[in-house]
Structure 1
Amino acid sequence: MGSILFFNILRFVALFILQVFLFKNIGYYNLATPFPYILIILLLPIGIPNIVLYTLAFLTGLCVDSFYDTLGIHAAACVSMAFFRIFFFKITLEVDMVESYLTPLLGEMNFKWFLSYVFFSALVHHTVLYFLETFNFHQLPYTLMSIGLSCIFTLVISLIFSFLFYKKKKNRS
Structure 2
Amino acid sequence: MKPALSLIAASVFLLSACGGSSSESSIPGLKSDTNVALLSRGASASSSHNSSDAKNLIDGNNNTSWTSASGQKIVVDFGRIEKIKSIKLTRQAASAAIGSSPDILIELSANGSSYTASNLSVFSGGIACTSQTVTTTTMSCTMAERDTRYIRITSQNGKAYDFIELEALATK
Task: Please give the TM-score of this superposition, normalised by the length of structure 1.
Answer: 0.27
* Larger proportion of strand: 2
TM-score (norm 2): 0.27
Counting helix residues as a fraction of each chain, which structure ranks higher? 1
- Which structure's CA Rg is the greater one? 2
